[in-house]
Amino acid sequence: MKTENIKFKTIDDYISTFPKAIQSTLNELRKLISSCAPKAEEKISYQMPTYYLNGNLVHFAGYKNHIGFYPTPSGIENFADELKDYKTSKGAVQFPIDKPLPKQLIKKIVKFRVEENLKKLKNNLTRK
């Protein structure tokens, strides 16, 4: 699970470096994100799985004791009340590895980020 020196090409490459239990949770998170952002491109950015749609939507990463979910500062700020049971920082939240992912909350955050990035695109087009 030492990933800091590996240069990943795909999300599959990234996930394959983790123990099976963590792989399962990472794949579950990947599936949730994809279902809410089907037009987003999967890629590796900052050596983490990333979803991109007119800019970065969200990133995620596996760790020994938690799954890191990075929905940008706006994703954290707009759902602060619902994230109060989790460790958060300006642009990140930690979901403990020994608890189920909060699927509905993750879906709401991803959909919020999709709308936010689509508005950004629309605003950029109207300025030109």
Task: List the chain domain ranges.
Answer: 11-119
pLDDT of res. 49: 98
In 3-state terms, what secondary structure has residue 101? coil
Which segments of the chain are extended strands (E)?
41-45, 48-52, 56-62, 66-70, 87-88, 93-96
Model pTM? 0.90
Protein fold of 11-119: Aspartate Aminotransferase, domain 1 (3.90.1150)
- Is the separation of the CB atoms in 33 and 58 below 8 Å? yes
Tens of pLDDT, residues 43-86: 999 999 999 999 999 999 999 999 999 999 999 999 999 999 99
Average pLDDT, the chain: 92
